[in-house]
Every structure is written in C-alpha cells, then in structure tokens.
Amino acid sequence: MPLDTAPAPLLDSFGRTVSYLRLSVTDRCDIRCTYCMAEKMAFLPKRDVLSLEELAKLSDVFIHRGVRKLRLTGGEPLVRRDVMDLFKHLSKHLKSGALDELTLTTNGTLLAKYAETLAACGVKRVNVSLDTLDPQRYRDVTRIGDISMVLAGIDAAIAAGLQVKLNAVASRGVFEYEVDALIAFAHKRGAALTLIEEMPLGDTGLDRSQSVLSLRDLQADLAKRWTLTPQRHSSGGPARYMRVEQTGGHLGFISPMSCNFCALCNRVRVSCTGQLYTCMGDEGAVDLRGPLRHSEAAVERAIRAALDAKPERHNFALDRMAEPAVTRHMSALGG
C-alpha cells in the first residue's frame, strides 16, 4: 500500500485500538537484574537480530497504521551499536507529526553518553530502571552493576532537558524500607517514580513467590506516611498515578498481578528478531521478519492477523508466582 494513503487503524477483536509500539532492538544487556534474567544468559547470535534498517522499516509500517507512541527497549537499547541511527530515522516522524512521542526504557548505565543526542532526536522523556539507592544492594540486584553510572546518567538526562521517570520493581523485604528514599530522590529531581509488580517471566533461578509484593499492600503502607491523591495524569501506559502532597511529585503504580488493566491495553511488542507479541503474558507470537523481507502489504496482513488473535487478558496471578507463566525472559521484550 502506498505510504500516501491512510490505512485503517489497528484494532483487535475486542475493539481495542493499538497506538503504542514497544520495539526491542537487542536482547543483550550490560547488567543481569535478578527479576529480569538468569545470571548466565545465552544471548541471541547477531545473525538472528533484525538490522537497524529493518527495525526502521518495521517502525514505519506501524506508524503509518496509527501507532502514535514508540518506545525502544531491549535488553538494554543503548548497548546496540549505532542505535542512534535508528533514533535519528524515527525523529522524522516526530517532525512530520505522524508520531506523538519517541521514548526509551534504559538501565541508565550509558545514558550520560547519549542523553544530549537523544534530546537532539526529539526524545522528550526516558524511563530509567532504579530499584535501590544503596550501591551494594544495587550490585546484588543487578549482579554486576555500578550505581554511580546510573546516577550520572540520570543527572545527564536532566541536564539535557529530558523528563526522567524512574522505574522500580517492588519486592518483599529490604525494598519496603527503601521506597521512601526512592520517592524523595526522584521528586527532588523533578522526576516521577513508578513502582512495578514483579511478573513471572522466564526462569531467573529465583523463587518469585518469595519476593513478589502486591502494590495494593505497598500503597496502603505508603499511605500511612505520605498523603497520596489520585491523579488523572497519564503517560499513555498502564500506570495509575498519585500525587505525593509532601513532595508535589507523581508516584505511579503498575499492577499487572493484583489489578488487571488489560481492558485498556493499547500496545503490542516486537522482539529484536521480528516476533510480534500482542500480550506480555502470552507465549503466542507472529513472525514479521519473513513478511518484512517480502512486502509492506505482507507485514500488514501479519500484524492484523496477530491482532485478531490477541487475547482479552493475560493469565498472571499472584498465587502462581513460583513457576514462570511464560518461558520468555523480561529482557526479550523490555518489560
């Protein structure tokens, strides 16, 4: 189909419009978070990963069919060689008005290097994963990480004019005593903080039933110390936001386990190998690599067929955390 025509929007069989694409550019990462991947990961051979040109072409197809927000993920997207070339390509859609927002989720270790270039490409906002402010616990959670690199990245992003949102995976135990410090840290810098329930994705070698923390319980505990006022503010994702009156900052809650939000799902995910996943909590995927190498029309047919089969909801449950719900690690799609 010529790019000067307007195809029908992307709809699933439940009438939900897909306007948000999360595109993984690599499965590789420079840290090994315990909730995300195994300590000794077997990463994909480079020949299996789509080229940057193919990722750009695939993005163009989605954008021309109504995707208004695109987030680059990994693994860690900034470890992908020449990934800034992809950002520069996608920035043209921001300039034309075809794309409302181009963002990324990063662990922050390389953000100091790329913050200014990201801002120059039209990126306005970045999500940075940060589960603790304690250097030793950060190394324990990430297995090999250096928190000083992340803190430098956050400072560089703010200095470059990027809006920063910190993401923290909630867990039972020490985290419950650290969350107040994370709130204060984020809000002092004008950043939002979003808390995320751990999901049963892939075998990490740990028993998630011992670490998963319901955000309903955590929110009730936080409300004993902070005045939390519900907000209508939305970043286009599943987070529910509260204003913390003592700081004036926003605190988000993403609760896939304790508070299903699938009825509002507006997103799909594509892996770095070109597999389209319409649900984070489902094994089903449709290959876009073959169609991409054939024609744009073939890609569109594959996308629409996948959306017709998109499940109504995921099947995650707090009482079934001991075993992975899907074999795929979180690092395959970036959460």
Q: Which residues are annotated as a binding site for GTP?
A: 22, 71, 105, 165, 267-269
DSSP class of 272:
T
User: What's the alpha-carbon Rg for the chain, to the nearest Å?
Assistant: 19
Of 60, 113, 63, 62, nearest to 83 (Cα)?
113
Of 112, 38, 58, 49, nearest to 81 (Cα)?
49
The span from the first CA to the last CA of the chain, in angstroms, equals 32
Are 126 and 101 contacting, i.e. CB atoms less than 8 angstroms apart? no
Q: Is 311 exposed, middle or buried (0-12, 13-18, 19+ CB in 10 A)?
A: middle
Q: CB count, 10 Å around CB of 44?
A: 16
| Binding annotation for S-adenosyl-L-methionine | 35, 75, 129, 199
| Binding annotation | 22, 29, 33, 35-36, 71, 75, 105, 129, 165, 199, 262, 265, 267-269, 279
The residues pairing with 291 across neighbouring beta strands, listed in sequence order, are none
| Binding annotation for [4Fe-4S] cluster | 29, 33, 36, 262, 265, 279
- DSSP code per residue over 66-99: T--EEEEESS-GGGSTTHHHHHHHHHHHHHHTS-
Q: What single-letter amino acid sits at 127?
A: N
